[in-house]
Structure 1
Amino acid sequence: MDTALPTLPGPSPVSPVSRLSRIDDADYPHAVEPLAEVVGGALLAPLVGGGEVRYANLDYAASAPALAEVADYLAEILPYYASVHRGAGYASQVSTSLYENARSTVRSFVGARADDAVVFTRNTTDALNLLARCLPRTGEVLYLDLEHHANLLPWQARPHRSVVAADTLEETVERVRLALADGTVALLAVTGASNVTGEVLPVAELAALAHAHGARIAVDAAQLAPHRRIDMAGDGAGQADIDYLAFSGHKLYAPFGAGVLVGRPDWLDAGAPYLAGGGAVKDVRLDSATWATGPARHEAGSPNVLGAATLAKAAQVLAGLNPTAWDLHELQLRSALIAGLTAVDGVKVHTLFADHAGGAPGDVTGGGTIGVVNFSVAGHDAGLAAAYLSAEHGVGVRDGRFCAHPVLRRLGLPSGSLRASFGVGSRLEDVRRLVAGVEALVSGGLGGDYRVDAGRWVPAHDPRPFPAWAPNTPGTAGAAPCAADV
């Protein structure tokens, strides 16, 4: 694939007001079309006012759509699906090969060491809870106040400390260094990129600090892995021996609820098995068991074969993308979105660090951002604004506290905000639609009446049909408490 792409051009010298009314293709040429085809990219969404429009999916950070190549691969392998590891049948042997080779693909995707364990889990939360059960008995866990709940709650059952981030990355790293200095920390647990604001943390620098003070580092890469190349071993991107890495298939353009924990095997082999059951043992007596080592120790029961296989296929597709094109596509989408939103009166884009843009777009060693933008609209409840954008403009964004409540309090947004997120299937038209919808909300207000149903804003009179196979039970909108907080 040709990598001779031009350097990212700066935005054209157009005033913010004119940029609001026209986010020109010429200004952001690498963001006009999707970088890869996703399932549902042409999905039509009905509007409360009648008619339908192409759904502008700007909620990738919650769950990304499946890559078309992944869907095609699933159709190809599904006839061979069978129980793995102990079956003599042909389909079982093929499925076993799929499952075990998925480990190698994932290991290569994240640049892991040859002896690193690759344990398949349900998601990032599951992976980090697994790791929490395998930590040595001595030593504390240190984490930042910026973490998603998946990288905060699992550590609270053991000795732990938190570091309050500063207004700059530089000062935040210094605070981590001071917290590590007494040598009592066994594990530094940090996010690779904020799921709230998209800011990338200096993982390499934090890893070097942890190791210099006798600690290991675990990185929550749920948001980082779908947007940036990761090199755990430090052979390419400059990252210094990330000890443990966790991420989710559903954010990596793969369906079926699989996740993965990759990392050094010694703690995992010494830790209590995550699940007690078949496959995790070497031998069982009526009152005792001899447990396996390696990934099997923590993968009791029938594994999610299709989830692991599709996760690996998605990783393979992303690894094959032109890195320069990937960076330019994402950075131009983000630049266009921020330029458009900040041109609207009363809209504020929220960030954590004053120096967050210090790194190159594809650099995960420090600075930079991914395709996540957090914003609020003065005078408009975030949940109501999100419902309006969906019902009247066919734009999907996320609202709430994003399972990162301390971060929202830190930003002065205790009741929540709006988050637009995008990825390889996004296009400039999605950004244009969101900006136009926000501008219409600010200038003209709501186009209809809205009410709260089960804690979520919905149109008071909603004629939009669900597909015939998707029941729309009254009172279930937003019924899951964390649905607004993901």
Structure 2
Amino acid sequence: MSLLVSSAASGTSTPASSAPSSADPVAVPFPSSEAAVSSASSASAPAAPGPLPVLGLDVRAPLVTGGELPYAALDYAASAPVLRSVWDDVAAYAPYYGSVHRGAGYLSQRSTAVFEESRAAVARFLGCREDDEVLFTRSTTDSLNLLASALPSGTRVFVFETEHHASLLPWRGPGLRTVHLDAPRSPEQAVATLERALAEAPEGPKLVCVTGASNVTGEVWPVRRLARAAHRHGARIVLDAAQLVPHRPVDIGELDVDWVAFSGHKLYAPFGAGVLAGRTDWLHAAEPYLAGGGASRTVARSADGGVEVEWQSGPARHEAGSPNVIGAYALASACRALTEAGFDDVAARERRLTERLLAGLGELPQVRVLSLFGADGDAAGDGTDAGRSGNAEDAAGAAARHRVGVVSFVVEGWNSSHLAAALSAEYGIGVRDGLFCAHPLLAALLGAGRGASGECGAPEGGSLNAVRVSIGAGTPDEHVERFLRAVRELVRDGARWRYVTQDGRCVPEPSA
């Protein structure tokens, strides 16, 4: 069933804070396209245990050595490919797009229904509590900056140095004090470090910001235990779920976090939409994140010649301007597709592929996989110790249980930019290299004394960067096997082409 219905028509329960500000939306299914929508929905259900259908699998990448191969997109942690069902939903809606709220026309009323049902769909996907609110933003970065702008003056923010810059840097505004915590080397140490810091903090508003899964190591953090620690000390907690929500279910109530932030472009949805979901009191008490139309209820000239403004309450307060309706709809469509596919099945398949990645890389003595918590990093607290058996495959399997599909590594004798360029140019494989917008974490993992990246082809020993391979619901098994074969061949035989540095990047030399 398409999302193109109102919450009232679909029989769902929409939180009061998510209700549209205009008249009740009209329930308007796609005209003359119900069969197409039904077909698109059925196409989104994968033939278990295969990958979900995504766009881009038919793209072919030219090779410097001649010929071409189907492009292997192994950079899901940056932006995941778009689910085909999401693209079909967006294409079916696009002719009926209109500006939302306050419009009396048919398309405006229809788009308002779509926008607010998308909000309700995201709330259901996250297991939002009755009083929680879903705000649409541009990205995780935008969501966390929005929250930072709403913090009460004097708030102390506690954040580990291991965070992505999106959750490390927003807490620098006037009236805020940020407490940076050292990188923990186990989930238990993470909880203990936070407990100590909170216990030593003076009275006043406090916020903890923590990632759900590292964008560098893929390791899952002990979110529920960190939330308990935060609440014991009167602090609130926001979860950066950008890398967690595409791979595992995130239930805001079960995790007992106060806010969740994530991005649509990592959740198999295009068009630049993000979400901040959670408590409303600080958000409603704060000045709007953006001043403008939609955020204002009334604007009138004042006696001194200026203007007086009464701001909106609810989500509209922080959603000024014309909202990204198609982005919100695409994001909600992705939430629905993952739910219908069965998150347990999606996660199980991804775990198998992650185990294969770890085992394959573990067979190469020149490769070091980066990890904060080590092979026995048990974020869930179930006591699993991957290091006990001594078996590499068993260890890879145990490690995969505590990671999402993100693996970063360095290779002895290789500059990471050189390796990534060779994977692309010679094997048609797209990975990420560098510092992944997590500079302090890479410094902790690789050693703060290491210098900047050297020239293309320079050994890894002189550079502070790594290679990251990341997978997801749409990754074919063949892409993982091709990647492992390529790394083995490059480590054993070296690159078949010459590479040079151009604009700071390693690229194939044209005349090689």
What TM-score comes out, normalization by structure 1 length?
0.84
**Matched residues in 1 for 2:356 and 2:416: separation?**
21
Find 1:274's aligned residue among 255, 271, 289.
289
Which residue of structure 2 aligns with residue 202 of structure 1? 222
1:222 aligns with 2:268: no
Change (3 A) 1:74 1:280: same
Matched residue SS, 1:230: coil
Task: Map 1:299-310 onto structure 2 (within 5 A).
Answer: 299-310=319-330
Pairing 1:50-449 to 2, within 5 Å after superposition: 50-157=66-173, 158-184=176-202, 186-234=206-254, 239=255, 241-286=256-301, 287-354=307-374, 355-357=376-378, 359=380, 368-412=402-446, 415-449=464-498
- Is this contact kept in 2: 1:356–1:369, CA < 8 A? no
Gaps of 5+ in 2: 1-45, 302-306, 385-400, 451-463
* Deviation by residue 1:27-79 (Cα, 9 ceiling, x = unmatched): xxx99964310011232111111111111111000000000000000110000
Looking at structure 2, the residues matched to 213 and 182 of structure 1 have their Cα atoms a distance apart, in angstroms, of 10
Q: Map Cα deviations across residues 194-222 of structure 1 (whole Å, 9 max, x no partner).
A: 00000011111111111111010000000
* Native 8 Å contact 1:183 1:214 kept in 2: no
What root-mean-square deviation, in Å, do the aligned CA atoms of Structure 1 and Structure 2 show? Answer: 2.0
Structure 1 counterpart SS, 2:473: coil
Residues 340-392 of structure 1 deviation map (CA, whole Å, 9 limit, x = unaligned): 1121231111111033245499x9xxx82101011111111111110100000
SS of residue paired to 2:282: helix
Distance 1:109 1:353 in 2: 29
Gaps of 5+ in 1: 1-29, 464-486
Give, in whole Å, the separation in 2 of the partners of 1:242 and 1:57: 33
| Distance in 2 between residues matched to 1:121 and 1:358, nearest whole Å | 29
Offset, 1:326:
1.7
1:233 is paired with a residue of what secondary structure? helix
Deviates more, 1:163-172 or 1:332-341: 163-172
Q: Structure 2 CA distance, aligned partners of 1:134 and 1:143?
A: 17
Amino acid in structure 1 at the alignment position of 2:363: A
CA-CA distance at 1:233 after TM superposition = 1.1
Q: Tell me which structure has the larger Cα radius of gyration.
A: 2
Q: Which amino acid aligns with 1:243?
A: D
Which fold has the larger relative contact order, with Cα–Cα distance below 8 Å and residues 6 or more apart in sequence? Answer: 1
| Distance of 1:340 and 1:360 partners within structure 2 | 27
Q: Percent identity?
A: 50
Equivalenced residue count is 425
Distance in 2, Cα, partners of 1:31 & 1:179: 48
Q: Residue 220 of structure 2 contacts residue 379 of structure 2 at CA under 8 Å; is this kept in 1?
A: no
Normalization by structure 2: what TM-score?
A: 0.80
Report the residue type matching 1:102 in the other structure.
S
Contact 1:31 1:328 in 2 (8 A): no
Q: What amino acid sits opposite 2:502 in the alignment?
A: D
Deviating above 4 A after TM superposition, structure 1's stretches of 4 or more consecutive aligned residues are: 30-33
Letter in 2 for 1:319: T
SS in 2 for 1:154: coil
Query: Cα distance 1:31–1:370, how it changes in 2: closer, same or farther (>3 A)?
Result: farther
| Equivalent position amino acid for 1:215 in 2 | A
For 1:302 and 1:460, how far apart are their aligned partners in 2? 46
Q: Aligned partners of 1:392, 1:342: CA distance in 2, in Å?
A: 23
Q: 1:34 to 1:455 in 2, by over 3 A?
A: farther
Number of the residue aligned with 1:18: none
Confirm or deny: 8 A CA contact 2:221 2:379 kept in the other structure: no
Letter in structure 2 aligned against 1:78: A
